[in-house]
Structure 1
């Protein structure tokens, strides 16, 4: 009988788990809208880190609640806890209530997984705020959805770019998700 090494078993199990993630994301997206943007297996660490190349420059140009949220989202796409803390700090200066409380949670945490939980709350509250008063929308906003976030419960986030850059998984599944809604800039 031929012996199989522990490393071989671990490699096989890793490949099976990765395949399940990509298959789940892909099949969940196929049941979504015509605007699905799932590209399984093409993610790269460089691609998600590219969103943070000019963090200090982007951070210094924040002048609205939407800007602060988007910088926070990009920090989580890059799985950068330090940048997420800094961006959330700016968010705490610009808001109050549940958004501020969740942003304070991000500032207090160095665990990206925990930061993403707080980010989910911020995303929900920001969306509710935009829907309640469309005059607060100062850029075209895409409501995007990842069906696999939080153990397949799913989660939404907002983006000013239609391209999916998943803040809940970062480079693990960078393009997993779909666009569910577009919020237009309020006309004056």
Structure 2
């Protein structure tokens, strides 16, 4: 009888030990699965954060492209006013451009690009202001340098617009001058009605 009780006691202890071991193993497996789930969630969160950061960067650059496109639209209006020998309209769009350059956001670009953009925008703003305050001969002189500034701006920021860079060989005492246009047909802003078709298309932008 004592022997039977002893055997039963040993079996009971074995069952308890087995149950405890199984519980510990099950807990370890659960903990391991939880660790894996946590790691996967953390990885997904990191990917989402990186994706959000990239989206923010792309959005900032897209916004800057839009800002450049708005500048181009008003630059073309200025150009067309000079083609039409319209001093007052040229003044209006010169003032609009001066404000647009003053508000241009350069923060999405690298430090080197930022420095270049600062020089371009400050120069362009100054010439736009002169166009807003002067008569047509002086407007055309400042338009020459403004056109170079806008071309340089586009080279850094890009644009969604199709443009043509045209060239007048006669302006500025025969030194020549470029301008940007929305079409291939030559309509010269430097001479207007005096020499409307003087010039050639250099390239498409």
TM-score interval, normalised by the smaller of the two chains: 0.5 to 0.7
Report the equivalent of 1:41: none
Report the equivalent of 2:148: 124
SS of alignment partner, residue 179 of structure 1: strand
User: 1-side partners of 2:155 and 2:201: how far apart?
Assistant: 16
Greater Rg over alpha carbons, structure: 2
Cα contact 1:145–1:179 (8 A) shared by 2? yes
* 1:81 aligned residue (83, 87, 104): 87
Report the equivalent of 2:101: 95
Report the equivalent of 1:40: none
The CA deviation string for residues 63-97 of structure 1, in whole angstroms up to 9 with x for no partner, is 81111000000010011111100011111121131
Count of residues in correspondence between the two structures? 118
User: 2-side partners of 1:144 and 1:132: how far apart?
Assistant: 20
Deviation at 1:132, TM superposition (A): 2.3
Cα contact 1:164–1:177 (8 A) shared by 2? yes
| Aligned 1:61-76 pairs, distance under 5 A | 64-76=70-82
SS of alignment partner, residue 150 of structure 1: coil
* 2:190 aligned residue (157, 168, 186): 168
Q: Does 1:138 align with 2:160?
A: yes
Report the equivalent of 1:107: 132
Q: Which has the higher helix share?
A: 2
Gaps in structure 1 of 5+ consecutive residues: 1-62, 184-188
Report the equivalent of 2:171: 149
Cα contact 1:123–1:156 (8 A) shared by 2? yes
SS of alignment partner, residue 172 of structure 2: helix
Cα contact 1:66–1:138 (8 A) shared by 2? no
What is the TM-score of this pair, normalised by structure 1? 0.61
What is the TM-score of this pair, normalised by structure 2? 0.56
Gaps in structure 2 of 5+ consecutive residues: 1-68, 103-121
User: 1-side partners of 2:171 and 2:127: how far apart?
Assistant: 18
Q: What's the Cα RMSD here?
A: 1.1
User: 2-side partners of 1:133 and 1:93: how far apart?
Assistant: 18
User: 2-side partners of 1:75 and 1:147: how far apart?
Assistant: 21
User: 1-side partners of 2:151 and 2:194: how far apart?
Assistant: 25
